[in-house]
């Protein structure tokens, strides 16, 4: 029983955090509620089909901008 309570709290925390982040992103793009409504079913379909895509970074090549970020230099060989 306690484990399910912890899981429910985690799920609630995750959904609230995602909702707030989505709300901030939509506001930054100046989208009204009616314009954002088609996005919700699309997100739910994506969550059902590819749930790990919401938690793991995408695979693929790094862009030149990512390579140029400080701290992304390859390790230097030991002498």
Cα distances from 63 to residues 22, 53, 57, in angstroms, run: 25, 19, 14
Phi, psi of 74 (to 5 degrees): -70, 155
Number of H-type helices and E-type strands within the chain? 4, 0
Could you tell me what percent of the chain has a pLDDT over 90? 27
The per-residue pLDDT for range 41-69, each reduced to its tens digit, is 998 899 899 988 888 887 776 666 666 66
- For residue 70 the two structure tokens come to 């400080």
- Of the candidates 20, 44, 43, 23, the one whose C-alpha atom is nearest the C-alpha of residue 33 is 23
């Amino acid at each position: 029983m306690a484990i399910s309570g912890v899981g429910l709290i985690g799920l609630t925390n995750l959904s609230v955090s995602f909702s707030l982040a989505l709300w901030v992103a939509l506001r930054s793009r100046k989208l009204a509620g009616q314009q954002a409504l088609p996005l919700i079913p699309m997100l739910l379909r994506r969550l059902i089909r590819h749930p790990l895509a919401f938690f793991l970074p995408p695979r693929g090549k790094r862009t030149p901008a990512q390579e140029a970020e400080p701290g992304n230099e390859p390790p230097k060989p030991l002498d």
